[in-house]
Amino acid sequence: MLADAIESASRVLVEPTPSRIESLVEEIAMKRLLDGQLDASGLTLSEVRVVQESLVKSLTAVYHGRVKYPEQKTA
């Protein structure tokens, strides 16, 4: 549930920079915690933090920018 919400929200980020992704993950996880949606999950706060870090790492890898190389001149 948490991963699905974060992944789908990340798709609408205009420029998915690492800091924006981290903020998004933190915001959604905090909302779920405060709403009590993770109460029955059995996860500790430190485990939720590990999940957040993993999601940030994964999404940052998915949305990393590609280096633009100069065009090759044909001979």
pLDDT of residue 49: 97
Average pLDDT over residues 63-75: 78
- Mapping DSSP onto H, E and C, the string for the chain reads CHHHHHHHHHCCCCCCCHHHHHHHHHHHHHHHHHHCCCHHHCCCHHHHHHHHHHHHHHHHHHCCCCCCCCCCCCC
Average pLDDT score over the chain: 92
Cα-Cα-Cα-Cα dihedral of 41, 44, 50, 52, to 10°? 60
Look up residue 34 and give its amino acid.
L
pLDDT digits (tens, 9 = 90+) for 26-61: 999 999 999 999 999 999 999 999 999 999 999 999
